[in-house]
Structure 1
Amino acid sequence: MPTLTEERATKIKEIVCEILELEEDEVSETSLFREDHDADSLRAIEILASLEKEFKVVIDQSELARMVNLKGVYEVVAESAGW
């Protein structure tokens, strides 16, 4: 049975992949959204908004600079949610 941390990480990856229109196996924890997957700033805002809605948190837009890959996204969401 997956842990809560694994479930959250999986959900974050699902959201990111859906917005970037990628298969989950195309995105690694450290692959860069802009450089490796051609994501633009509008997609980054979409990811941020979706994560806020899903996890009921508020994420400052200044955190977008850290949200360049799944690892960064998870760290930002975890800090905002107090995980």
Structure 2
Amino acid sequence: MAAVTEERQQIIKDIVCDVLEIDPDELNDSSLFKDHGADSLRAIEILAGLEKQFSVTIDQAELSRMVNLDGVYAVVADAL
């Protein structure tokens, strides 16, 4: 499992904030995306953005883990 560096964490946070259309200051590592208006379509947009950014393939079954930044960091680390 590759480590998700601080640089990668910032990239991930930027992708999530862009998709959710929120300011990065509004989101911390344990904030639930659903509290920021995320729905299944937005979750898939986040997944697609991560796959493109990191040149990885992430199974859609992983969406259930991607409820906050901590979950996304774990999914990306597993994919790398």
Report the TM-score, using the length of structure 1 for normalisation. Answer: 0.90
Which residues of structure 2 form unaligned runs of 5+? Answer: none
Match of 1:29 in 2: 29
Runs of 4+ with >2 A deviation:
none
Could you say what the CA RMSD is over the residues aligned between the two structures, in angstroms? 0.9
Match of 2:78 in 1: 79
Which structure has the bigger radius of gyration? Answer: 1
Match of 2:11 in 1: 11
Q: Deviations over 1:33-72 (max 9, x none)?
A: 01x1121100000000000000000000000000000000
How far apart in 1 are the matches of 2:76 and 2:55? Answer: 10
Aligned residues: 77
How far apart in 2 are the matches of 1:56 and 1:15? Answer: 14
Q: Deviations over 1:3-53 (max 9, x none)?
A: x7000000000000000000000001000001x112110000000000000
Report the TM-score, using the length of structure 2 for normalisation. Answer: 0.94
How far apart in 2 are the matches of 1:38 and 1:19? Answer: 10
How far apart in 2 are the matches of 1:40 and 1:6? Answer: 26
Which residues of structure 1 form unaligned runs of 5+? Answer: none
How far apart in 1 are the matches of 2:47 and 2:33? Answer: 13
